[in-house]
Amino acid sequence: MDREPPEPPENPEKCVGIDVGILKYAHDTDGTTVGSLDLSDERERLEREQRKLSRKQHGSNNYEKQRRRVAECHADLRRKRRDFLHKLSNYYAREYDLVAVEDLNVKGMMESPSNSRNTASAAWRTFLSLLEYKCEREGTHFVAVNPRGTTKECASCGVSTEKPLWVREHSCPACGFEADRDANAAWNILSRGLEDVGVGHSERTPVETALPADTPVSAKRVVEAGSPTLKERTASAVSE
């Protein structure tokens, strides 16, 4: 039997909107940016072992030994990626009263011809699933909002402006509000999340708060036990 999601808090004190991306894995309304996980060493190792496998005689003992090494490389990649996503989702579920994210059409993204987009989309799907589950476990309200226009819309005045992907800054021609592209999107996500659950908009606008200065957090620090940055910000929130 499915459990009902937790009721949204009447006056949530700690709310966050999260924008996920490729250049930065996550950018939230508190100014924290988390870099994408660097698995280049693991992928290079996998490619080396795959090349070795291609030179073995199929069905031989050496082929089977090498096949197991390739399988171990695949498992290592999956384990490290999932460990990162577990700890990041733990952080948000335990640190906040309400978490707002985009209700992404991940299936459509996975059908994109771009390999980097495919890889990122798969990780986003896992992250959002883990985040939703852990928010339910922690009693944190999870809300997925319509993603349409979150990047284009100005978080200060609501005017939409077209932006090609390579433009990484938001600069509103109507009100002059300027911010990082992903920070602007995160504010829109939070605003829509609060509206969807009937909490209402925050009395503070991004302009009034001047948007908190970005605090870069590398993905490596998320997965490393005892990371000073995440320890200071989350205490035990990154542990299972």
Question: Could you tell me which residue, 144 or 163, shows the higher pLDDT?
Answer: 144
Closest to 21 measured CA to CA, from 98, 112, 127: 127
Give backbone dihedrals phi and psi of 215, rounded to 5 degrees, phi first. -115, 95
- 28, 95, 180, 182: which is the annotated catalytic residue? 182
- Identify whether 214 is a catalytic site residue: no
pLDDT tens for 161-176 read 888 878 888 888 888 8
What pLDDT does 209 receive? 47
Told to judge if 38 belongs to the known catalytic residues of this protein, a careful annotator would answer no
pLDDT of 73 reads: 95
Q: Give mean pLDDT, residues 144-157.
A: 89
Q: Find out whether 82 and 126 touch, Cβ atoms under 8 Å.
A: yes
Comparison of pLDDT for 206 and 87, the residue scoring more: 87
Does residue 114 have a pLDDT over 50?
A: yes
**CA diameter of the chain:** 69
Q: What percent of the chain has pLDDT over 90?
A: 39
Q: How do the domains of the chain map onto residue ranges? A: 15-234
Q: What is the mean pLDDT of residues 107-111?
A: 50
Per-residue pLDDT at 226:
35
Helices 61-95, 40-54: axis angle to 10 degrees equals 160
Please state at what angle helix 115-138 crosses helix 61-95, rounded to 10 degrees. Answer: 50
pLDDT of residue 168: 85
* Catalytic residue flag (residue 19): yes
Q: How confident is the model at residue 236 (pLDDT cuts 50, 70, 90)?
A: very low
Between 226 and 61, the more confident residue is 61
pLDDT mean over 21-29: 86
Active-site residue identified among 49, 95, 102, 153: 102
Number of other CB atoms surrounding residue 191 within 10 Å: 23
**pLDDT at residue 170, rounded to an integer:** 87
CA–CA gap between residue 190 and residue 206 (Å, rounded) = 11
User: Could you give the dihedral angle defined by the CA atoms of residues 215, 85, 36 and 69, in that order, rounded to the nearest 10 degrees?
Assistant: 150
**Among 24-33, 103-112, 198-207, 229-238, the range of highest mean pLDDT:** 24-33
pLDDT at 62: 93
Residue range 176-217, pLDDT digits in tens? 888 888 899 999 999 999 988 876 555 445 544 444 556 666
pLDDT at residue number 121: 56
Q: What is the DSSP string of the chain?
A: -PPPPPPPPSS-SSEEEEEE-SSEEEEETTSEEEEPP--HHHHHHHHHHHHHHHTSPTTSHHHHHHHHHHHHHHHHHHHHHHHHHHHHHHHHHHH-SEEEEE---HHHHHTSS-HHHHHHHHHHHHHHHHHHHHHHHHT-EEEEE--TTTTTB-TTT--B----TT--EEE-TTT--EEEHHHHHHHHHHHHHHHHTT----SS-HHHHT-PPPEEE-HHHHHSTT-HHHHHHHTTTT--
For residue 144, pLDDT beyond 70: yes
Residue owning tokens 């994109």: 112
What pLDDT is recorded for position 38? 84
